[in-house]
Each structure stands twice: as structure tokens, then as C-alpha cells.
Amino acid sequence: MPEYKWPDANDRDLIGKRISRLDGPVKVTGTAKYAFDINRPGMLFTRTVYCPHAHARITKLDTSEAAKMPGVKAVRIIQNVGTEIQWALDEIVAIAATSEDAAEDAVRAVKVEYEVLPHFVNGEAGEKAPQAKAAQQNVVGDPNGAKAAAAVTSKGYYGIPTISHCCMEAHGQVCEWTDEQHLEAWCTTQSVAGLPAQFAEGTGIPAANVRTHCEYMGGGFGSKFSVDRWGVECAKLAKDAKAPVKWMLEREPELTIAGDRPSAYAEIEVGASQDGTITYWSSKSWGSGGPGGSGSPPMPYVIQPANRRHQHISVPTHMASARAWRAPNHPQACFLTMSAIDDLAAALKMDPLDFFMKNAAITQRAAVYQEELQKGAELIEWKKKWRPRGQNGPGPVKRGLGVSMHTWGGLGHNSNCEVSIFPDGSVEAKLASQDLGTGTRTVIAIVLAETLGLPLNAVKVSIGDSSFPPSGASGGSTTVGGVSASTRRAAQLALEQLLVKVAPDLGVPPEQLEAEKGTIRVKGNPTKSMPWKQAAARVGMTPLTAKGANPGAGKLIDQGVGGIQMAEVSVDTETGIVKMEKMVAVQDCGLIIDLKTAESQCYGALIMGICYALTEEKIIDPVTGRMLNANMEFYKLAGIGDIGELVVHMMTGPEYDKRGVIGLGEPPVISPGAAISNAVANAIGVRVPHLPLTPDRVLAALEKGGMS
Amino acid sequence: MQAFEYANPTTVSEAVKALAVTGGSAAVLAGGTDLLSLMKDGVETPKRVVNLKSIKELQGISYTAGKGLRLGALATLDELMQNAKVKQEYLSLVQAAEGVRSPQIHSVGTVGGDLCQRPRCWYYRGGRGLLAMKDGKSMVMEGDNRYHAIFRSSNGPAFFVNPSSFAPALIALGAKVKVTGAKGSREIPVAEFFRIPATEGERENVLAHDEIVTEILVPPAAQVRNATYEVRQKEALDWPLAAAAVALQMDGKNVKSARIVLGHVAPVPWPVPDAEKLLPGKAVTASLAEQVGEAAVKGAMPLSRNSYKIRLARVAVKRAILRAAGMEV
């Protein structure tokens, strides 16, 4: 068995370089096929009867007219008379027809009556909400004593709303039965290998009879782990209709029911000693993520004062159930915590950079955060630009700086990879993994090519098919660690087998051989070599294959990262409009496989963070319980002109490399809300307590603070 | 989308005939940026769609000395923004078009369509009617009205805001809209083109069901300093939260007469005659512009969630005046 490890820094041809994603060209030319693009012969289209009420009981349901409509091939009653519906746009009836329009006409012909029941959609109500559930208070040290002893305390109320995942590619799939017992499905999913068991459970066939595909996907962000009811019902429609069926969600249900990051609100009191060390923390938070309420954000976040207490209240609402959203609970905890301690810095009249630097000492990664804060401060010119709150210019437009810090795990998930070396020299890695748009395919190719000493275009990566060796769901920043480790192990093992076959030709023992520059050559004597293609011919008539797994032998991965972000904003105090000037992200993630896609992860996260900081929220109508802005018009996302200058700095070097690969999807999206909110507070001299920082909220805060 | 008949007339008279026989169940298609989404969402379900884009006489932008500007109803936002005369004399129109932050809408959206587009009120778009009444109560009053009207009339419970980008500027410039129907053509001041519906089913403009907008006539404005200022949160496509258009006739350094019209604050474009009166005989200064802004929002009656729009309207007026006067905003 080979010694599994990453190549030394000076032996890396590809790893750590800036390499463009391999599937960029097929995506921008439109040849990449997403689930939405799959069109099978004879395929039917689905439209759905959704419940228009947030809380209701079905009293009458008649699909007989709909079933007779032209083009209708299957009608499935998903929820029948008597069922109590818990959120708006829950699915009642699904209809498969020969065209979307025919299905839509049939949907209109379905007669449903409801007994409308009272709804509750105000997650901010906290303890006053019906069915609010308070968790046990968590206490460390002596908060009361610390409060009394603190030189300065600061108290505030902060809130971050429910947002939708808003995937560009809506949820859904195409289902096709190849015979009575075998199902094939093209899904947009974060879990290619996990879906067969879920389809099997829903349809009553063995999981072994289900094959799922996801070659490309247009975003998941944590909302696409499940087959979902529309997946199982799509399979059932296809079975009933004896034809392939496509069911992709329309934009309104996509935003209303297929994505939901829980809200979080908190009353926080925090105190410090005169030198700026935070000694006291007390918080009560609450929030909602639908009927199940919400989990507790980990508070206080990152910074761990010696004396602290926290309590969370979960508020059930008549909204669709929460789904994991990129770094579940962290953006909420980060915004609430970092806003509160930034307000404490202001109360102490301390520069937040110095304050954060000092209190990095009471985190789990003090040295990393301090190095990152230093780097970030250089990149944003903090010491040159920072002014105390309320001293940011005489005109109506005020500039401000803010900082935040965050953490994440990112340990690689379970993964299996099969590497084949074919007699003609071609090479393939197969994994039932998926590329959410993050660069997974590219990362696998880099590891495979690097390990075999081949150029990137000499290797093939096959993912997105459940018939390949299983790899974990892509969530929680677990993919890059999982697939890079399993691929490295499989490739090293395959190479070892090849070297055994080639060694006699080169007249040295296999352990004296290496794969470099497209050859198999003798270590220390590169002239004694054999071209890769010639070496591969030694495998015989059939390909040589090897399997690698994660976890496995050797230290290839790690977990636990810290990152900091800084924001520079300008705020028009007459209109309340916040404009992004610049954001700096400084992030570590261990050994970086592809510097370019790693940086791209951070750019994407910053843009997503700017959206939830400035514009993004689910607006739920108190009258109807319906989401009012379930469209791309009023569910506001930033455009290119709204994001300002973005600067990403990845921490690299021997100390980071030696940890191995760590996931990066979540960490950089955690801090933007806090960093931007802190920058706005710095600019205008007063805290805007609620995200997003829309003009109405900014103006209200200015007015309340007597600054307007 | 429900099935519909499609008519493709090549003259105005054919278009009017195609509309006249439908008794009001037809929709007029120009750029389609609004109508198609209304139909796809099932908010509008016309039995017939009458396409205007094949009618040549509705196209083009021309300028006649002494008479002014003629905008064909089908003139696109792009055509307007690139027209040399418009760029020279009618900056308020160019600025309004630039506020539509979408190259796609610039390419296909039309001036006539801008005037005739339906409100963006989310209750209306959610299929709850233009007045959004439920059990005799306004859903807007009880619900989320952050983007709704801050001015109302005695004319019933309309709280949507007029969505037109050009109407405030056109009214400030004294423009007329020419419409043609079965009974012939008429010219209507743009200010009188819009109305506040009193009951559900009434439209928000005065067009009869067989009438179409054929052109917009804007008087010469070489001597008129004019500007539009929109308050939008985003640089990317985003509806204004408030807007103001200003047209100032100058007498040397002093204002001779002024027209100021607010947008996105009422069910119709909202002229503010009392505020206009503060300007004549005076030179524009920042503090005067501020005073006019304050006067412009007198009488505003905000709903539960939109009082911030009063301040935005005030600022829009101030900045539009300063912009018209060529001062820094």
C-alpha cells in the first residue's frame, strides 16, 4: 500500500495553482445539460394545484373534470380531504400532461375547497408567539458577577430575517421507468448517491433499482438534499402515465416552499473590562423556520467570554419548513454576535480592529484570526480610513468600515473513487458525487492528473451518476475534502499497480519509480523513463482499476477554519441607501487544490452575503400568510453594480498546507451580514438593528438615533 | 397561460377594429415586458391579444421645430436614449429611461407600454385585484404596504403606485398623449391620461377598450431645464421607491415657472402645484430645493409601513431640482 500524502510544495504541478473550471465552456455555451434541460422521448409535463392558504383544511376535492381534459395523462392527489395544510403552496394535486399549458388548464379545472384556519407567520414575536418553545438556558462561569464587574456594558436588539435559497435552477427532476421495477431520474440534487434510497422508500421498489443522475446543477446552497415530495410524486406520475415525466418547480413555489433559512432575533447584553477584553455575555434569541421552529444559533459566536449565558426560543410558524442554508445557523449567530460586540467596542470608544484583535485571544484559533485581521486591515487600509462612529464626513454620504470573523468545520465526507487506467493510456475517475457549481469536477481532475503526472486534459472525471462508487452529499463544506482524498488514494493505488508492471522494463524496483511529466521515470534519473502511453499498455487487455476511500490511511484532510471579513460602505443618510465600496475576505482552508475555484467560492459567498445584508428577505403577508415577493422582481438580489470591489486573500503556506484539504463552501458566506452591518453603524453612528439594510430601516435607525 | 386569439394588424385602424369587437376582453401587446408576465401568472386572461408591433405608423421619434418631439408609441427605450434631440433637450426622459436598469427592457420596452403598463402592487400581481379588497377591507391597509402609495385621493381605496418611468417627466414637460379608437383620435394631456379607479374593474387610465396610444407629443424644451431623479435601492433592475421630475422655465438666473411631478408615490403621477409655487422669481439654491421638497410632501398620508417614502419623495424633489439646475446633487 502506498504512503498516502499530498506532494511537497515543490513537487506540485497543478495543486494550488489558479486553474479555470473544466466545465466553464460547456456551461457558457449552453451545452451542459441540467435537469431542466433533460427531455426524454414522449415526456410529460407537470403542473400542480397548490394550497393558496397558509393554514387550512381541505374540505372538498374533485379532480374528475381535470382528468378528462385534453392531453392529461395522470392525476395524483397528494393531499386529500381532511388534511390540515400547514403552509401556503403546499402541494395538493399534481397533473402530468402532454404540455405545460395542457397541465395548467387541467390544474384550473381541479375543484378544491378549504376551511381556512388562522395562520401565524410572525417569527419575530418570540415568547409571545403561540407554541413558542424555550430551550434550557446555557450558562458558563458567573454572568451576573461578570456583569457587575464589567467596566462597560452594551445592550442591543438585533434581527436577521427568513430568506429563501433562491436557486437559479429550481428544484425538480425528470423521472422515467425503464420497466415496472426500474426507475431512472435526472435530478438537480446535492446528493446523487443518496437519492436512490429516498426514491425507493417513496415508490416501494428496491434502491438497487433506482439510478439517479446530476451532471450539472444550478445551485443548491443546502436546499437540495432531499428527493422531496415532488420527486416521489413525479416518479409515481411517470408510473401511472407510463411515460417519462418532468416536474420542475415554478419560481413562486421555488421561493416559497423550496428554500427557507430560519430567522433569528436576539436581545444581547455584553460587557468588557477597561482594556477591552470581553468578560460578560448574556443573550436570548428566537427565530423560526416553519412548523418546526428553529434551532439555536451557536451564541456567543467564535468569541468565548469566560462568563456567558444563552437561551433560545423556537417559534413555529405557518411557513414552509426550514432547509439547511450555507453554514446552517452560523450567519445568524455571526450577525447577532459580531453586531453586539461591535456596539460594545463603540461604547468603549475603541477601534473595532484593535478590539477584535484583542478578543481573538478568547477564540479557538487566536493566531490565525490575528494574522488574518492583520492581512485584512492592510488590504482595506483600515488604519488609514477608519474613523470613530459619527465622524465620517460632513456631507449626507457617510463612509464606514466594519469587521467580522467566523469559523467552520469542513471535514471531508465519506467518499469512494474508482480510478481506471486503460491500455491506451486514458484515465478515468468515477465518483457518485456532484458539482454544485463549486468546481468539484475540476478539483477531482487536478488531484488525479497531479498524482499520475499527467496534464489536466489527459484525465477524465465522471460524476453525477448513482451507479458510480458512492460519495457523500455535498453539504457543510465536506465535498472537497472527501473527493480529493478518495481520488488521491485511488490514484496512488492505481499508480502503484502500474509501477509494478512497468518496473521490469526500466530495470529498477517499483518503489524507485515515479509518474512525472507524462512519463514513468526513475527517481533522481529522469532520463531513464518511459512515456505514459507506453507504460499504460503494460496493463494488458483490460483496464487496471483501483479504489480509494475517505476516510482512509494517511493524513490528507483536516477540519476547522477561521476567516475574517471587512466591509467598506457608503451610506446616503438622506435616502438610507447603502452602497458597497469594498469587501475583503481573508480565509484559510488548509491545502488548496485549485486556487482559482477557491477564490471563486469566496467571491460567490461575498455576493450572496451582500444580498442577504442589503436586499434579501422573505416578505410574508400578515393578511394571507402568503409570500408577497416570490419572484425575481421583489425578491431582491444584487447585480454587478451593487457589489463594489471584492478582494479575496487565501491564507497559504507550509503551516496551512500541512493540515491537508478543508472545505470552503460555507465559511466565507458567514461574515458578510455582520461586517456590512458594522460598517453601516460606523458610517452613520447608529446601529440599524435588522437585516437587510433597506432604506426604510436605515432611515428609521437614523431617526431613532436622532441623526436624521 | 390560457389560450387566446392573436391578431396582427398592420394599421392603426385595423388594430382598433380588432379591439372594438371584443367588448373589452382583448389585450394590447407592444414590447410585452409586462403583458406576458401578467398572462403567464394568470392575472390577465385576455381572449384576444392584439399585437401592435407590425404597425409602422406607431414607430419612430421625430422632432419638428416649433412643434416639438413626437414619440411613436412603439419607440423603444433604447431609441429614445440614443436620439440626439432627446439627449439635448429632454434630459428628464433620458434619465427616466436610464432608471430602467435592464438592457433587455431597453431593447424591447416601448414608450407607449411604459404609460400603459399595469401597477406592480403585489396584491394585484397575486391575483387579488387592483384594489385588493377582501371582506370590505383593503388588504393593502392591513397587510404589507412598504412599496405602496403615500398620497391618496378621496376616490376610494386605491393604494397601488403608478409604475410609469416617463409619466412624471412627460407631465412636467406638458406632453400630450394621442389616442385613437373607433370614434376617431383625441389628444389628452398626459396628466389627464391617468385616473384613480374607484371600483374594482375600472382601469387606471382613460383609454376606452377600443383605444390605443399612438403617439406622445412633447412641446419644445430647449429653454426648459428638466430632470428626473429616482430613488432606487439597487443599481441593478429595481423599481424606484420614489421619483420626481422637474421642468423649470428660466428667466436668466431665476426660475420663471416650474412643474414638479412625483412618481411611485400615488396611484397616478402626482403633481405638486403648491410646491411649484415656491420657485418662480428665485434662483435655485440647495436650501430652496430643500424647501420645495418639504412642500411637495405636505398632505402625504402614509400607510403602516411606508412613511419612509415621504422622506424619499422629499429628497427626490430636492435632487431633481438641483439636477435640472445643473447643480451637484
Instruction: Encode pLDDT of B183-228 as tens digits.
Output: 999 999 999 999 999 999 899 999 999 999 999 999 999 999 999 9
Rounded to the nearest angstrom, the minimum Cα separation between B235 and chain A is 5
Kindly state whether B6 is in contact with chain A, defined as any CB-CB distance less than 8 angstroms: no
Q: Dihedral (C-alpha) B273, B278, B279, B280: value to the nearest 10 degrees?
A: 90
Helix (H) or strand (E) holding A101: helix A100-109
Q: What residue type is assigned to position B121 of the chain?
A: C
Question: Searching chain B, which residue's CA lies closest to the CA of residue A611?
Answer: B234
Give the pLDDT score at B230: 98
Distance CA A236, CA A239 (A): 5
Residue B290 zone, left/alpha/beta (φ > 0; ψ -120 to 50; rest): alpha
Every domain of chain A with CATH number 3.30.365.10 lies at 9-32+412-550, 264-410+558-704
Q: Does the structure show a pLDDT above 90 at A708?
A: no
Kindly state whether B234 is in contact with chain A, defined as any CB-CB distance less than 8 angstroms: yes
Q: CATH topology for A264-410+558-704?
A: Aldehyde Oxidoreductase; domain 4 (3.30.365)
Rounded to the nearest angstrom, the minimum Cα separation between A613 and chain B is 13
* Predicted confidence band of residue A577 (pLDDT cuts 50, 70, 90): very high
Kindly state whether A683 is in contact with chain B, defined as any CB-CB distance less than 8 angstroms: no
Cell reading at B92: 428628464
Q: Which residues of chain B have a CB within 8 Å of the CB of A574?
A: 311, 315
A502-525 per-position pLDDT tens digit = 999 999 999 999 999 999 999 999
* Predicted confidence band of residue B252 (pLDDT cuts 50, 70, 90): very high
| Largest separation between any pair of C-alpha atoms in chain B | 60
How high does pLDDT run on average in chain A? 97
CATH number of this structure's domain A9-32+412-550: 3.30.365.10
Calculate mean pLDDT across residues B153-168.
Answer: 91
Kindly state whether A615 is in contact with chain B, defined as any CB-CB distance less than 8 angstroms: yes
* DSSP assignment string, B267-295: SS-EE-HHHHTTSTTSB--HHHHHHHHHH
Task: Suggest the residue from A89, A572, A624, A691 to mutate for an interface test with chain B (most B CBs closer than 10 A).
Answer: A624
Distance CA A676, CA A404 (A): 9
Calculate mean pLDDT across residues A254-280.
Answer: 97
* A701, A688 Cβ separation under 8 angstroms: yes
Give the pLDDT score at A706: 81
Every domain of chain A with CATH number 3.90.1170.50 lies at 35-117+171-248
* Predicted confidence band of residue A332 (pLDDT cuts 50, 70, 90): very high
Least confident of A15-29, B21-35, B56-70, B161-175: B21-35
Calculate mean pLDDT across residues A593-621.
Answer: 98
Percent of chain A clearing pLDDT 90 (strictly above)? 99
Q: Which residues of chain B have a CB within 8 Å of the CB of A634?
A: 120, 122, 147
B197-207 per-position pLDDT tens digit = 999 989 999 99
Determine whether A524 is exposed, middle or buried from the number of CB atoms within 10 Å of its CB (0-12, 13-18, 19+). exposed
Interchain proximity B231–A577, CB inside 8 Å: yes
For domain A35-117+171-248, is the CATH number 3.30.505.10?
no
* A701, A429 Cβ separation under 8 angstroms: no
Instruction: With both helix axes pointing from N to C terminus, report the angle between A440-452 and A479-506 in degrees, rounded to the nearest 10.
Output: 20
Residue B303 CA: distances (Å) to CA of A187, A683, B77, B139, B307: 45, 29, 33, 12, 7
Kindly state whether B4 is in contact with chain A, defined as any CB-CB distance less than 8 angstroms: no
Calculate mean pLDDT across residues A245-262.
Answer: 97
Q: Work out the number of other CB atoms within 10 angstroms of the CB of residue A60.
A: 10
Distance CA A597, CA A14 (A): 13
Rounded to the nearest angstrom, the minimum Cα separation between B150 and chain A is 14
Determine whether A400 is exposed, middle or buried from the number of CB atoms within 10 Å of its CB (0-12, 13-18, 19+). buried
Distance CA A26, CA A646 (A): 26
Q: Does the structure show a pLDDT above 80 at B156?
A: no
Determine whether A41 is exposed, middle or buried from the number of CB atoms within 10 Å of its CB (0-12, 13-18, 19+). exposed
* Predicted confidence band of residue B24 (pLDDT cuts 50, 70, 90): confident
* A317, A627 Cβ separation under 8 angstroms: no
Kindly state whether A633 is in contact with chain B, defined as any CB-CB distance less than 8 angstroms: yes
Interchain proximity B315–A575, CB inside 8 Å: yes
Calculate mean pLDDT across residues A377-382.
Answer: 98
Question: Searching chain B, which residue's CA lies closest to the CA of residue A622?
Answer: B143
From the list B120, B139, B233, the residue facing A694 with the nearest CB is: B233
Least confident of A228-237, B17-26, B87-96: B17-26
* Predicted confidence band of residue A393 (pLDDT cuts 50, 70, 90): confident
Task: Suggest the residue from B134, B138, B234 to mutate for an interface test with chain A (most A CBs closer than 10 A).
Answer: B234
Q: Choose among A169, A197, A185: nearest CA to A246.
A: A185
Distance CA A289, CA A276 (A): 36
Cell reading at A90: 403546499
Q: What residue type is assigned to position A266 of the chain?
A: A
Question: Searching chain A, which residue's CA lies closest to the CA of residue B3?
Answer: A101
Calculate mean pLDDT across residues A644-652.
Answer: 98
Radius of gyration of chain B (CA): 19
| Largest separation between any pair of C-alpha atoms in chain A | 85
Task: Suggest the residue from A105, A574, A688 to mutate for an interface test with chain B (most B CBs closer than 10 A).
Answer: A574
Determine whether A419 is exposed, middle or buried from the number of CB atoms within 10 Å of its CB (0-12, 13-18, 19+). buried
Q: Does the structure show a pLDDT above 80 at B151?
A: yes
Q: Which residues of chain A have a CB within 8 Å of the CB of B290?
A: none
Q: Which residues of chain A have a CB within 8 Å of the CB of B306?
A: 696
Q: Does the structure show a pLDDT above 90 at A602?
A: yes
A560-569 per-position pLDDT tens digit = 999 999 999 9
What letter would DSSP give residue B128?
I
Cβ neighbours of residue B39 closer than 8 Å, sequence gap 6 or more: B1, B2, B4, B27, B45, B46, B49
* Predicted confidence band of residue B22 (pLDDT cuts 50, 70, 90): confident
